[in-house]
Amino acid sequence: MKKILFLCCFISQICLSQNTEHFSDSKTVIKPNRYKLNISQKNNKDESIVSYELFKKTREKWTKLQTGNFKKQANFGLYVSTDEDLNNDGYNDVKISFAQAGRGANEINKLLIFNPKTQKLIEIVNSQDYPNLHYNPKRNCVNSYSFSGGNSTYFLKINDNRLQEFARVEFYNDSVSSYKIKNKEEILLKKKPYESSDAAVFFSDYDPIEE
């Protein structure tokens, strides 16, 4: 009897670790009702594999434009965001859950930027290095917000298939510092005492420093 119970539990764990999740959207992805994105995630014991297919509607039929895949943290669910334009070109981009850090405070995504010229999604190869990615209309750039002891706001531009940091604001122990980054060299612009009513304060500008 014990052997049967053990076998049942073992089979159950295998099924759980190899389940497949699915996502499909044509209402918000890239341009509403003109493109469709199908995503599947196969969860294995050691890693999960995400596969995606991009379609475009032509004469009321869906034509496949692209397929792709990547590996991610094992047993981390499939969550997809398709309603934000991160490079302000008029086309929504795609964020796919990749991992979590900072006790769940840092949401790490694989970022796919749509290229209207090639009609394909560009995989941003280092997007998982920058948590909580969002578009910043004040600076017309991408911001990353990171919790790690203090709070850091990264100001990023998209350069080919990479995110490139050009400025940063750090808030720690009631002090704020802003940096400009040029040729991989950090230049301190401002450091001053700073109080905020929000413990999770982040910044929309680095020069001047503004929330």
Residue 165 contacts by C-beta under 8 Å, 6 or more apart in sequence?
Answer: 154, 155, 156, 181
Predicted confidence at residue 8, as pLDDT, reads 38
Instruction: Show the low-confidence residues of the chain (pLDDT under 70).
Output: 1-18, 101-104, 197, 199
Q: Measured between alpha carbons, how far is 29 from 114 in angstroms, rounded to an integer?
A: 10
Predicted confidence at residue 45, as pLDDT, reads 81
SS3 165: strand
Predicted confidence at residue 12, as pLDDT, reads 36
Predicted confidence at residue 16, as pLDDT, reads 40
Predicted confidence at residue 47, as pLDDT, reads 86
Query: 142-163: per-residue pLDDT in tens?
Result: 999 998 778 999 999 999 999 9
Predicted confidence at residue 6, as pLDDT, reads 36
Closest CA to 193 of 178, 169, 176: 176
Predicted confidence at residue 124, as pLDDT, reads 97
Q: Measured between alpha carbons, how far is 80 from 39 in angstroms, rounded to an integer?
A: 9
